[in-house]
Each structure stands twice: as structure tokens, then as C-alpha cells.
Amino acid sequence: MSLRINDIAPDFTADTTQGTVRFHDWIGDGWAVLFSHPKNFTPVCTTELGTMAGYAPEFAKRNVKIIGISVDPVESHSKWKTDIKTATGFDVDYPLIGDKNLEVAKLYGMLPAGAGDTSEGRTPADNATVRSVFVIGPDKKIKLILTYPMTTGRNFAEILRAIDSIQLTARHQVATPADWKQGEDVIITAAVSNEDAVKRFGSFDTILPYLRKTKQPTA
């Protein structure tokens, strides 16, 4: 069965470039992004991991840990870091999981059940579905799932934007409109009456009977 939003993120123990981790313990009381790539020493993946390294301070500001994964062994990850630094200018300081037996990739539905049991001899095309993103909350529940095709590098600024929305809407009874960015107006959810909205937010604009906007809460 495929994973869905609000499912508990499957726990696992795996080898990484920073030692063995048990996933739920590693997350702790914060947030996490688990993101996968098809294969080391390939062009799109090289740009992605470097870009994520560049965004690492922004994720840390939001109490979000980041961890990468592919079916390559840990030793390969360590060797690849030099190329990533050369290509992007960023050091990969976050852990990378070496999932050489495909266990985590299958646990998270990144690869089909018939994908085999080892990374040996696999090409990027064999790992075509492994360009996934899972955002996981402190409750260990999945908050967001994204899967990209082989030829499309991810927009990590969008992942940060989505986390801003997820964290904000977890604290307040609001939602965020299309293309919303931090600091812009938000939508009051249907569960909040007009009377309660005045108490909570001070004022709001009614665009439609079911669409009410207000300033982003700051608390």
C-alpha cells in the first residue's frame, strides 16, 4: 500500500555518511525532509544535492533536519561529495543514506516491489521513480509527498515555501492560497465563524462567502 499524507512515516535503521541512524530517533522533536535521488555521479542529482546544501541554513531556521538517500553505498556518497562541491560550491554536511539493498526505497514506495534486492549494476533508469520528497512532522506523520521525473531537478525553494505553510497552518486555523509566500495574506478556514475570526485575527476581507482573507498571524 502506498504512503499517504498523515500516515506515520515508516521507521528504519540505516547506514549513512554520518553513521548509523534510526530514523524516528534522528528526527527527534523537530521536523525532517527525507529526499531521494536516482544515482550518484549523475548531472541532475549533483545539482540537487548541492542546492539542498546551500539551503541547509534555511531548513535549520525552521527546525527541519534534512537527510538524503539513494541506493548507492555510503562509500560512493562520500566520494561524490567532492564533485558536488566542485559543481555547486556547497559542502554536503547533511547525512546521506546508503540504501544498497533497496530496503528504505521500497519501504517508502520509491521503487516497485519487483526492482530487485541490491543496488549492484543498477542504472539511473532502473531507479527512475527515486526522486521523491517526504516532509515529516514532529509527530512522525507525513505532511507532504512529492515525486519528480528523472529529467526534472527539484525546486527546493518550493519545498521551503510548503514547509512555511505547513508549519503556519499547524499553529493557526488558516490555509494558504496559491503561490503564497511567507508574510502574505492567508485564508481563514471554514471551521472559524465570522465572529470568531474577528476575535482571532482582528479583521478580514470577504472575497466570497467561502473565501475570507486576513493578515498572516505572527504568533
For the stretch 164-201, pLDDT in tens is 999 999 999 999 999 999 999 999 999 999 999 999 99
Look at residue 35 and tell me whether its pLDDT is greater than 70: yes
Is 162 within a domain?
no
What pLDDT does 195 receive? 96
Tell me which DSSP letter residue 181 carries: -
Q: Band of the pLDDT at 114, cuts 50, 70, 90?
A: confident
119 and 192 in a single domain? The answer is: no
**Residues 64, 70, 71, 76: what is their CA dihedral angle, to the nearest 10 degrees?**
-110
| Distance of alpha carbon 29 from alpha carbon 23, whole angstroms | 12
DSSP H helices, the chain, are 23-27, 43-61, 74-88, 103-107, 156-171, 194-201
Query: What CATH number is given to the structural domain containing 17?
Result: 3.40.30.10
Average pLDDT of the chain is: 96
Is 69 within a domain?
yes
Query: What CATH number is given to the structural domain containing 187?
Result: 3.30.1020.10
Mean per-residue pLDDT for 133-155? Answer: 96
Q: What is the pTM of this model?
A: 0.94
Give the active site residues.
45
Instruction: Decide which of 116 and 16 is more confident.
Output: 16
In the chain, pLDDT over 90 holds for what percent of residues?
89
147 and 84 in a single domain? The answer is: yes
Say which range, 1-10, 33-42, 110-119, 137-146, has the weakest mean pLDDT: 110-119
In the chain, pLDDT over 70 holds for what percent of residues?
99
What pLDDT does 1 receive? 56
Is 4 within a domain?
no
Domain residues for the domain of 183 are 172-214
What pLDDT does 128 receive? 83
Look at residue 99 and tell me whether its pLDDT is greater than 90: yes
C-alpha cell at 174: 488558516
What pLDDT does 10 receive? 98
Mean per-residue pLDDT for 25-48? Answer: 97
Q: Which 3 state secondary structure label does DSSP give 203?
A: coil
180 and 81 in a single domain? The answer is: no
66 and 121 in a single domain? The answer is: yes
